[in-house]
Structure 1
Amino acid sequence: MSAALWPVVARITAALDKANGRDEHELAMRLLKVGEEAGEVAAAYIGATGQNPRKGTTHGPGDVARELADVIIAAAVALHTITDHAPSVLDAKLHAAARHLAVPNPKGQ
């Protein structure tokens, strides 16, 4: 993961907290933002494959990649909002996923 991820996510979360607070409604909005961004990935991929004959090819692989990055950012902000241990939660989940797929870890973690 980018070394900048969690410090920047903390700044984004703090700005959102200042603007919108951090009540249950705001948490719900941050969770829904993840779904919204995922929908934008789907739309970009449909556009990149030209699946809609009425529109043709409207996006490229770079558009899909940028939308995927937006999903990661939105999910990281939501995770940071719901727990004070976001980096360790993600790290544990990442390593668990790798173990389930029997992906070797060159650092022995």
Structure 2
Amino acid sequence: MNADVWDTIGQLARYFEEHDTGLGLAPEEQWTLQVLKIAEETGEASQAVIGARGTNPRKGTVPWDDAHAEIADVAITALIALARMRPDGPAEYLARHLAAKSAKFLPPAPTVVPGPTERA
């Protein structure tokens, strides 16, 4: 992720933290509510997928773009939660965690063995 994305995520995290602090919520309460917000966004993404598949006859269908937007909302909300819970370096934490998780599924990067050096 580029620095602009993390800068925006950091700004949003600070905004919501200031708002919640103004309401008198302790950090752990704020984090709990942020995680619940992720769950809410996930529910909206689920509803959009159901709508895109047209499996709820009462509601008709919606375009897949609606589902894509809701998935993006889940990701944004999760990144804000991480930034609020790990203000000391959420990008680095995410990178380390992603590396550990992906190592379970992806083959290791090939090792490049340098060839003999050419003399001038």
Whether these two folds match at TM > 0.5 is yes
Unaligned runs of 5+ in 1: none
Aligned twin of 2:116:
none
- Distance apart, 1:104 and its partner CA: 5.5
Given the alignment of the two structures, is residue 31 of structure 1 paired with residue 35 of structure 2, yes or no?
yes
- Distance apart, 1:27 and its partner CA: 1.5
Q: 1:62 to 1:104 in 2, by over 3 A?
A: farther
Aligned twin of 2:14:
14
Aligned twin of 1:69:
72
Identity %: 34
- Distance apart, 1:2 and its partner CA: 4.1
CA distance in 1, matches of 2:73, 2:107: 26
Q: 1:103 to 1:61 in 2, by over 3 A?
A: farther
Letter in 1 for 2:38: V
Unaligned runs of 5+ in 2: 113-120
The counterpart of 1:50, out of the listed 54, 79, 85, is: 54
- Distance apart, 1:17 and its partner CA: 1.7
Q: 1:104 to 1:61 in 2, by over 3 A?
A: farther
CA distance in 2, matches of 1:82, 1:103: 31
- Distance apart, 1:41 and its partner CA: 0.5
**DSSP-derived class of the 2:44 partner:** helix
- Distance apart, 1:105 and its partner CA: 4.9
Aligned twin of 2:115:
none
CA distance in 1, matches of 2:29, 2:67: 29
**DSSP-derived class of the 1:4 partner:** helix
Letter in 2 for 1:17: E
Q: How many residues align?
A: 106
TM-score by length of 2: 0.78
Task: Supply the RMSD in Å over aligned alpha carbons.
Answer: 2.0
